């Protein structure tokens, strides 16, 4: 994930990008402070890398019938996906 800082326009990625995004929403400030602290201690980016490696996503327009059935099962009881 990449984002651009408002001050200076520098691009950041990974954990620093999460801090930038979370610092925009007051309800996420505690999480932003925690991520900022982890980043300062040098543990933020390795933790982000572990989470990023384990995440799953479906590319746009690449979902076949099997994928759609899995989504319906995962979201059973919620509005149609």
Residue 79 lies inside a defined structural domain of this protein: no
Can you tell me the distance from the alpha carbon of 64 to that of 73, in angstroms, rounded to the nearest whole number? Answer: 15
Q: Is the pLDDT of residue 32 over 60?
A: yes
Q: Is the pLDDT of residue 23 over 70?
A: yes
Distances (CA, A) of 49 to 20, 46, 53: 17, 5, 6
Please give the residue that has the higher pLDDT: either 63 or 42: 42
Residue 65 lies inside a defined structural domain of this protein: no
Which range marks the domain in which residue 42 is found?
Answer: 2-55
> Is residue 9 classed exposed, middle or buried when 0-12, 13-18 and 19+ CB atoms within 10 A define those classes?
exposed
Q: Is the pLDDT of residue 81 over 60?
A: no
Residue 9 lies inside a defined structural domain of this protein: yes
DSSP 63: -
- Split into its structural domains, the chain has a count of 1
Measured in residues, the chain has a length of: 81
Of the chain, the percentage scoring pLDDT greater than 70 comes to: 69
Residue 69 lies inside a defined structural domain of this protein: no
pLDDT-derived band at 28 (thresholds 50, 70, 90) equals very high
Residue 62 lies inside a defined structural domain of this protein: no
Can you tell me the distance from the alpha carbon of 9 to that of 17, in angstroms, rounded to the nearest whole number? Answer: 13
């Amino acid at each position: 994930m990449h984002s651009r800082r408002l001050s200076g326009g520098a691009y950041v990625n990974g954990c620093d990008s999460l801090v930038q995004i979370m610092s925009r929403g007051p309800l996420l400030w505690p999480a932003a402070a925690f991520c900022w602290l982890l980043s300062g201690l040098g543990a933020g980016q390795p933790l982000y890398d572990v989470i990023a490696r384990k995440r799953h996503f479906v590319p746009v327009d690449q979902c076949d019938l099997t994928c759609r059935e899995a989504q319906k099962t995962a979201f059973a009881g919620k509005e149609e996906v």
